[in-house]
């Protein structure tokens, strides 16, 4: 293995612990971590994710410890996230079918995508999509992010995602059959009980979206059918699911465990974890 992991972050506000947890785990396991954003802008942590006094409304308690707040603040003050990989330069844009030169542009698109996939194959063992409300804006329905996920999927390499970053897995699909790549798989992600009713925010704007524009739980329930299942883990402190090649984490409290399971998949051959293959146990 190359011992190198690509971590994809939104430019509209990532949740601090959802980066810190896996990143520290990967660092400790000896992996080089590279960062990427949709257009190469430096990612910025959401304010509440580095505020130890913040109280999460759905959970009715704080979700950012003083220690974690300090770690996120220190990361933000460092240069580690400077100059991320620009996904718009790494991966081509799929042409419109209405283009006057569609066939030639489509050929060029596939040739460029093959070259990018070969570069990824030679460089990375795994990819992680970090969550936070910003992922709703520029990761969930981003064609280049989808092509990145599909590249790792087609290479048979682990694909991990956390919280609202899991939406990108649901929407990543081959444009021939247009079926989600998580169809028939077991996944977790932000459950509806954890969704804010008001106040979903993003970096760089004072726009208050209110609740998320879609309930991720419902998206994942539909995308995993038939044969798969969404597991919310509501009432359990953690919810992480491994159903190879996917590793999914529900939310903030699952960040370190998500990173740990990625390492176990890579180094110990873990293929399934966190769910019962035959039991209809919604709580796991």
pLDDT of residue 104: 97
pLDDT of residue 284: 35
Backbone angles phi and psi of 133, in degrees to 5: -60, -25
Tally the domains of the chain. Answer: 1
Contact 119, 188 (CB under 8 A): no
Beta bridge partners of 186: 229
Structure tokens at 166: 């899991």
E strand or H helix at 115, and its extent?
Answer: helix 102-123
Residue 153 lies in a domain: yes
Residue 163 lies in a domain: yes
Residue 278 lies in a domain: no
Structure tokens at 44: 């910025």
Residue 140 lies in a domain: yes
Residue 23 lies in a domain: yes
Helix, strand, or coil here: 261?
A: helix
Q: What is the value of pTM for the model shown?
A: 0.95
Residue 284 lies in a domain: no
Is residue 65 exposed (0-12), middle (13-18) or buried (19+ Cβ within 10 Å)?
Answer: exposed
Average pLDDT over residues 189-196: 93
- pLDDT digits over 94-140, tens only? 999 999 999 999 999 999 999 999 999 999 999 999 999 999 999 99
Residue 267 lies in a domain: yes
**Residue bearing tokens 């081959």:** 174
* Domain carrying residue 65: 4-273
Contact 151, 170 (CB under 8 A): no
pLDDT of residue 115: 98
- pLDDT digits over 200-251, tens only? 889 888 888 889 999 999 999 999 999 999 999 888 989 999 999 999 999 9
pLDDT of residue 1: 56
CA angle (38, 193, 127) in 5-degree steps: 30
Residue 62 lies in a domain: yes
Residue 97 is part of a domain; what is its CATH number? 3.40.50.880
- pLDDT digits over 37-61, tens only? 999 999 999 999 999 999 999 999 9
N residues, the chain: 284
């Amino acid at each position: 293995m190359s011992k190198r992991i690509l971590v994809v972050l939104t430019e509209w506000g990532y949740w601090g612990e959802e980066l810190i947890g896996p990143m520290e785990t990967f660092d400790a396991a000896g992996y080089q971590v590279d960062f990427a954003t949709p257009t190469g802008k430096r990612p910025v942590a959401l304010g509440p994710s580095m505020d130890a006094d913040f109280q999460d409304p759905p959970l009715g308690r704080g979700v950012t410890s003083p220690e974690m707040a300090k770690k996120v603040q220190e990361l933000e003050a460092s240069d580690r996230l400077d100059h991320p990989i620009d996904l718009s330069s790494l991966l081509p844009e799929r042409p419109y079918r209405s283009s006057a030169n569609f066939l030639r542009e489509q050929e060029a698109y596939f040739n460029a995508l093959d070259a990018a996939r070969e570069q990824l194959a030679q460089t990375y063992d795994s990819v992680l999509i970090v969550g936070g409300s910003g992922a709703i804006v520029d990761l969930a329905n981003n064609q280049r992010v989808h092509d990145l996920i599909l590249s790792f999927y087609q290479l048979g390499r682990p694909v991990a995602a956390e919280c609202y970053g899991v939406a990108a897995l649901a929407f990543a699909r081959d444009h021939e059959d247009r079926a989600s790549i998580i169809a028939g798989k077991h996944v977790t992600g932000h459950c509806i009980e954890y969704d804010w009713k008001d106040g979903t925010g993003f970096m760089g704007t004072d726009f208050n979206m209110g609740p998320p524009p879609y309930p991720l739980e419902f998206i994942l329930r539909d995308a995993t059918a038939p044969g798969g299942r969404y597991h919310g883990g509501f009432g359990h402190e953690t919810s992480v699911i491994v159903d190879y090649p996917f590793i999914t984490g529900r939310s903030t409290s699952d960040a370190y465990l998500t990173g740990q399971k990625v390492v176990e998949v890579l180094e110990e051959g873990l293929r399934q974890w966190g769910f019962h293959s035959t039991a209809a146990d919604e709580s796991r």
